[in-house]
A = this chain, B = another copy of it.
């Protein structure tokens, strides 16, 4: 057995495990930043996403995203392989991908990515969306929209041929989730109590900040695999550079958001610190392999500042995003994608143009498709729980159980 092939594959499997682990990070972050009465519901959604997302990617997504491209007209071939993966000849040998990984590793790494887009939406719509509607949305979005957009670049589709660059998915994963979050939040409306009649903005504090903090640290750990694995081999120079730029952007993003929010609000705001870290991570993701240390610091600082401004702006335009998913994944996803045209090895006006085309085209497609899906759901099965259910909590209504039955709780 070729030892370089073996080590490449080991690295990719470890990165797969780390990306899988991000689902615990998202789960902790989302429940931590929302109220205890909706905890079971959020966990149920997240567990649904990882299980259904993986099976959908098995049955539909992987074939749709990579071998051919839905858009480019190999529909008949595609349906032949619809049910179940089919191991190509040499899929387990060094010939499959230049000795970088096997077919199975390829599938599983990509499958773990796929579920992430829906998870991003999950946080934004928390505490008021109907579970059934969300599950249908997840199936369509993870099963079809994500792989189609992914095929444009990573399936060597038209964006790739144009020159668009998105190393690990600032646009292809994070913005894809972020755009749908934006649409969903708009169509759902705000939680009761968020925007008051007198125009003031209510604060609905998260119920478990230790778990939210743990979520961010777990996500940061997961990003070692998310970005590190996107090298698609264990190449020592490339992978280690990517880990450095990733960690430095995370640190810079966090410190920047902490300092900007301290300056703006005169408060040591842990939530902003945490979301700043995530903003830095999303921001570096598009160009983690082409940035210097200094570039990473600057990208992180700007991402952190954008988080503080975006959270405030989203509040002011009366969109209710309980966990800050739009600021983190959409705004910093756009920023990171554009930053590839401004900083690092690829920086040029033409590259900036390609990046802009990517941002706009993916944005348009995601806005349209997510609007079509969610609006249809709204007009058919309905997307929002009843007022009573929202006030009493989704846990007891949809799941018949409490997250913390032994503790005395404040209802609000």
* A interface, CB within 8 angstroms of B: 1, 3-11, 13-14, 16-18, 20-21, 23-24, 27-28, 31, 35-37, 39-40, 43-44, 47-48, 50-52, 54-55, 58, 83-85, 92-93, 101-105, 107-108, 111, 131, 205-211, 213-214, 216-218, 220-221, 224, 228, 234-237, 239-241, 243-244, 247-248, 250-252, 254-255, 258, 267-271, 273-274, 277, 292-294, 297, 398-410, 412
A310 to B268, CA, bound (A): 35
Q: Which residues on the B side are within 8 Å of A216 (C-beta)? A: 47
A235 smallest CB distance to B (angstroms): 6
Contact check, A5 vs B236: say whether CB atoms are below 8 A apart. Answer: yes
Q: Which residues on the B side are within 8 Å of A273 (C-beta)? A: 44, 47-48, 51
Contact check, B407 vs A251: say whether CB atoms are below 8 A apart. Answer: no
Q: Which residues on the B side are within 8 Å of A221 (C-beta)? A: 17, 20-21, 24
Contact check, B40 vs A270: say whether CB atoms are below 8 A apart. Answer: yes
Please give me the residue from chain B that is nearest to A256 by CB atom: B51
Contact check, A236 vs B102: say whether CB atoms are below 8 A apart. Answer: yes
What is the oligomeric copy number?
A: 3
Q: Which residues on the B side are within 8 Å of A4 (C-beta)? A: 1, 3, 6
Q: Which residues on the B side are within 8 Å of A399 (C-beta)? A: 267-270
Contact check, B101 vs A240: say whether CB atoms are below 8 A apart. Answer: yes
Q: Is the interface of A mostly helix, strand, loop or mixed?
A: helix
Contact check, A220 vs B8: say whether CB atoms are below 8 A apart. Answer: no
Other 10 A-B pairs with CB < 8 A, given A1-B4, A1-B235, A92-B236: A4-B6, A6-B7, A9-B240, A24-B218, A36-B406, A39-B210, A48-B258, A102-B236, A108-B243, A404-B407
A93 to B238, CA, bound (A): 11
A412 to B405, CA, bound (A): 10
Contact check, A404 vs B209: say whether CB atoms are below 8 A apart. Answer: yes
**Which of B16, B84, B205, B207 is within 8 Å of A243, CB to CB?**
B16
Contact check, B405 vs A408: say whether CB atoms are below 8 A apart. Answer: no
**Which of B18, B208, B243 is within 8 Å of A404, CB to CB?**
B208
Please give me the residue from chain B that is nearest to A214 by CB atom: B24
Contact check, A10 vs B13: say whether CB atoms are below 8 A apart. Answer: no
Please give me the residue from chain B that is nearest to A253 by CB atom: B51
Contact check, A84 vs B294: say whether CB atoms are below 8 A apart. Answer: yes
Q: Which residues on the B side are within 8 Å of A1 (C-beta)? A: 4, 235-236
